[in-house]
Amino acid sequence: MAPLEFYFDFASPYAYLAAERLEEIAARRGRETVWRPIMLGAVFKETGMGPLFHQPMRGPYGERDFLRSARLYGLPARIPEKFPYTALAVSRAFYWIDASDPKAAKRYGVAVFRRYYGDGIAPESEDEAVSLAEAVGIDGSAARAGIREPEIKARLKDETEQAIGRGVFGAPFIFVDGEPFWGADRLDQIDAWLERGGW
Amino acid sequence: MAPLEFYFDFASPYAYLAAERLEEIAARRGRETVWRPIMLGAVFKETGMGPLFHQPMRGPYGERDFLRSARLYGLPARIPEKFPYTALAVSRAFYWIDASDPKAAKRYGVAVFRRYYGDGIAPESEDEAVSLAEAVGIDGSAARAGIREPEIKARLKDETEQAIGRGVFGAPFIFVDGEPFWGADRLDQIDAWLERGGW
């Protein structure tokens, strides 16, 4: 069966809340996942939306809801001082790792999410992207070279364009056998969809 | 204990999905509810948002998600040809009924929601608002006079302004002992909040 396709931006708060729980659901239902970081800024240009925490009225509620939901799920969470951030280096590093070892790429992805929303530090620079790779056991200088590869840069751009073409307008956005689900709120529906084969 | 405060616009698809389920949750947890229809158009002026189904990319997904969620909850649902509609007459009728009989007002509210999202007919005119009142056993000419009362018109305006003042930016928006929850997606959290007294 096709893997569940998980589109997200590393700066998205609800993608952070969804990532590890999606893995648990997929494992319980015997399904694989593929992670596809994209640059949500490019998506927002299509929809006219902006980062949640900056929106009038929705922003203050969003912060409260994010922290409250994280407490419920038992995930460490804070509102980073810098919000959002441009997750270019870490997204490229992800695809470079993913090309040879998808499991390691997911471990890297979890570390990136936790660095930002757990520690409150935006891993925006190449140095930070590399040091997170080292923290999950990946060679730093190889990762640094990987981030700079033209093929890797093109991959992130292509994935973002493909996502827009498939109707992805926010994160997390998950396809289950072609069925689109948007939002961390939809994980329970995804679980039910996998159990019943749709409804 | 204070009742759960349920703010909504009768034209809101996710308020329709939430209304009857919220009543079930409140009943199970031994809590009362108050329903407060508001005019979301006035709210959107504050936030710059618009009706979901009209938004680029989000609109087509929203329709699919709404119908899929309704199937899951066992609620009849369709996308009305006229979307959204101005729920002025039915909201006024609601407050007029509510002033003497809150339980009857909720029955009226359910009938209004089901007329729009179940049958696909927008109850926009005074005649339609009155005939829905008659359908739940309320005297039609009294309801027609009630809709036109200056106090009732003022009530709807006041509730909408108060809602904006309390940070309500969408629907459904529910306060549980002062804690704000936005979206039909949050009903499970509301249930858990009531069970645990927060977390």
In percent, the amount of chain B with pLDDT more than 70 equals 100
> pLDDT band for position A42 (50/70/90)?
confident
Question: Do A66 and A79 meet the contact criterion of CB atoms below 8 Å apart?
Answer: yes
Q: Give the residue from chain A lying closest to B74, CA to CA.
A: A199
For residue B106, give the amino acid letter. K
Residue B133 has pLDDT above 90, yes or no: yes
Residue B102 has pLDDT above 90, yes or no: yes
> Taking CB atoms and an 8 Å cutoff, what residues of chain B touch A196?
none
Residue A56 contacts B where some CB pair is shorter than 8 Å: yes
Q: Which residues are within 8 A (CB) of A39 and not within 5 positions of it... i.e. 6 or more apart?
A: A9, A86, A87, A88, A91, A156, A157, A160
pTM of the model: 0.95
Q: Which of A56, A169, A188 sits opposite B61 (nearest CB)?
A: A169
Residue A125 has pLDDT above 90, yes or no: yes
Which of B58, B168, B174 to mutate to probe the A interface, most A CBs <10 Å? B58
Q: What is the pLDDT of residue A173?
A: 98
Interchain proximity B199–A47, CB inside 8 Å = no
Mean pLDDT of B141-158: 98
Residue B47 has pLDDT above 80, yes or no: no
Interchain proximity B47–A61, CB inside 8 Å = no
Residue B148 has pLDDT above 80, yes or no: yes
> Taking CB atoms and an 8 Å cutoff, what residues of chain A touch B180?
61, 64
Q: What is the pLDDT of residue B76?
A: 97
Q: What is the pLDDT of residue B121?
A: 97
Residue B50 has pLDDT above 80, yes or no: no
Q: Which of B65, B72, B185 sits opposite A199 (nearest CB)?
A: B72
Q: What is the pLDDT of residue B197?
A: 95
Residue A48 has pLDDT above 90, yes or no: no
What token pair was written down for B61?
Answer: 């997904």
Interchain proximity B57–A48, CB inside 8 Å = no
> pLDDT band for position A56 (50/70/90)?
confident
Q: How far is B49 from chain A (nearest CA, A)?
A: 9
Q: Which of B58, B186, B189 sits opposite A47 (nearest CB)?
A: B58
Secondary element (H or E) of residue B6: strand B4-8
SS3 A57: coil
For residue A166, give the amino acid letter. R
Of B47-51, B52-56, B82-86, which range is least confident? Answer: B47-51
Q: What is the pLDDT of residue B46?
A: 73
Dist. CA B19–CA B184, nearest whole Å: 9
Q: Give the residue from chain B lying closest to A167, CA to CA.
A: B57
Mean pLDDT of B111-120: 98
Mean pLDDT of A46-56: 78
> Taking CB atoms and an 8 Å cutoff, what residues of chain B touch A189?
68-69, 72
> pLDDT band for position B51 (50/70/90)?
confident
Top pLDDT among A98 and A58 is at A98
> pLDDT band for position A1 (50/70/90)?
confident
What tens digit of pLDDT does each residue of A60-112 get? 999 999 999 999 999 999 999 999 999 999 999 999 999 999 999 999 999 99
Q: Which of A47, A56, A68 sits opposite B48 (nearest CB)?
A: A56
What tens digit of pLDDT does each residue of B164-181 get? 999 999 999 999 999 999
> Taking CB atoms and an 8 Å cutoff, what residues of chain A touch B46?
56-57
Question: Do A117 and A16 meet the contact criterion of CB atoms below 8 Å apart?
Answer: yes
Scanning B21-50 for CB atoms below 8 A from A yields 46-49
Dist. CA A42–CA B142, nearest whole Å: 55
What token pair was written down for B131?
Answer: 């005939």
Residue A55 contacts B where some CB pair is shorter than 8 Å: yes
Residue A36 has pLDDT above 90, yes or no: yes
- What's the mean per-residue pLDDT of chain B? 96
What token pair was written down for A190?
Answer: 């995804």
ipTM value? 0.94
Residue B45 has pLDDT above 80, yes or no: no
In this complex, how many residue pairs, one in chain A and one in chain B, have their CB atoms less than 8 Å apart?
Answer: 64
What tens digit of pLDDT does each residue of B64-75 get? 999 999 999 999
Q: How far is A167 from chain B (nearest CA, A)?
A: 6
> pLDDT band for position A137 (50/70/90)?
very high
What tens digit of pLDDT does each residue of A152-176 get? 999 999 999 999 999 999 999 999 9
Residue A189 contacts B where some CB pair is shorter than 8 Å: yes
> Taking CB atoms and an 8 Å cutoff, what residues of chain B touch A71?
199
